[in-house]
């Protein structure tokens, strides 16, 4: 879990007791606290608690910053959730497919 995000700690209680307003506040705070450094951990939280918006934002951040994140060897965090890894990879492929040819050509040079 992301170490400095109290919302992550409160989210299980919000879910357990069906306190939607607390859940909404937690999700909003997690979205605000989302960074390249905690994207994998937040993705796992989003998957565990079925938070589609946070999951989508995490995947977008991961795919936009795939080189820095891969360099940190953070993929290990997703080994227990291959479906998340597959979804992130599919998003990365879609992103690469939509780049203009000139951008792709520059990367290959």
Three-class SS state of 79: coil
Q: What is the structure's pLDDT at 23? A: 97
Highest mean pLDDT, choosing among 44-48, 77-81, 83-87: 44-48
Q: Which residue has the higher pLDDT, 102 or 12?
A: 12
| C-alpha–C-alpha distance, residues 99 and 78, integer Å | 26
| C-alpha–C-alpha distance, residues 34 and 30, integer Å | 6
Sign of CA dihedral 47, 55, 99, 66: negative
Average pLDDT over residues 65-92: 69
């Amino acid at each position: 879990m992301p170490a400095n995000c109290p919302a992550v700690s409160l989210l299980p209680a919000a879910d357990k007791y069906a306190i939607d307003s607390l859940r909404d506040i937690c999700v909003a705070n997690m979205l605000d606290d989302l960074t390249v450094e905690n994207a994998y951990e937040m993705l796992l939280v989003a998957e565990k608690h079925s938070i589609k918006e946070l999951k989508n934002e995490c995947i977008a951040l991961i795919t936009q910053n795939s080189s820095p994140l891969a360099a940190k060897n953070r993929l290990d965090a997703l080994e227990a959730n291959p479906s998340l890894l597959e979804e992130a990879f599919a998003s990365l492929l879609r992103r690469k497919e939509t780049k203009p040819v000139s951008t792709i050509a520059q990367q290959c040079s």
